[in-house]
Homo-oligomer: A and B are copies of this chain.
Amino acid sequence: MYSFTEENYLKTIFYLSIGTQEGVSTNALADSTNTRAASVSDMLKRLAEKGLINYQKYRGVTLTEEGERLALLVIRKHRLWEVFLAEKLQFGWDEVHVIAEELEHIRSERLIEKLDAFLGYPKFDPHGDPIPNAAGEMPRFIYRKLSEIVEGTTVIMTGVSEHSPAFLQHLDKAGLTLGCQLKVNEISDFDKSVSVLIDNVRTLFVSHEVAKNLLVK
């Protein structure tokens, strides 16, 4: 049985590893976990002893197979609880993350399998992120950013790459929700902002900053 803290380190290493071959640096982990590099060093030694990470002093860390499996099981729990909070308890997608950060550490396999069934085996969380299966495997989809779509193309909004409440609330105000259809009318030469036609009914100007964080297919 691993501690909340250990589970959080594994999860953080997993997220920081996405899209790189290299190991995750001590400083990056200290930033993400709101601790100091010295504390991270200590913890990395312990996780390495337990066989959850590959660690050599002064080189970064990567997860072992077992470490990645555990990280994905924590992420599975997090995302399933997020679905519960959003769909059953009517929390906004900007509110679910903080609560799921606690719920993800509840230890009961049966609980999470029954929750999965209760929710109807959802494949995605409220932010469009895929939910790993009980074996700790997660399908990897490759989505494009709205900022990379060429003019005239029509796409579907499938996710976000930024999960802060501020960003999600901004999308709420703009009426941008998962699954909506976006037709890229024009990209401004001046500030790269995007004019989009939403669900064929109304036009909206989306800043480049926002467009970079909208995932579409």
Contact = CB atoms under 8 A, between A and B. Distances in A.
Interface of A: 85, 88-91, 95, 98-99, 102-103, 106-108, 110-111, 114-115, 118
A107 B216 CA distance: 35
B89 A99 contact: no
Q: Interface residues of A: mostly helix, strand, loop or mixed?
A: helix
Contact of A103 (B85, B91, B106, B118): B106
Contact of A99 (B90, B98, B108): B108
A102 B91 contact: no
A154 B91 CA distance: 46
Contacts of A110: 91, 95
Nearest to A85: B111
Contacts of A118: 88-89
A100 to B, nearest CB: 10
A113 to B, nearest CB: 10
Nearest to A113: B89
A152 to B, nearest CB: 43
19 contacts: A85-B111, A88-B118, A89-B111, A89-B114, A89-B115, A89-B118, A90-B114, A91-B110, A91-B114, A95-B110, A98-B108, A99-B106, A99-B108, A99-B111, A102-B106, A102-B107, A102-B108, A103-B103, A103-B106
Nearest to A90: B114
Contacts of A102: 106-108
A9 to B, nearest CB: 20
A118 B118 CA distance: 14
Contacts of A114: 89-91
A47 to B, nearest CB: 23
Contacts of A115: 89
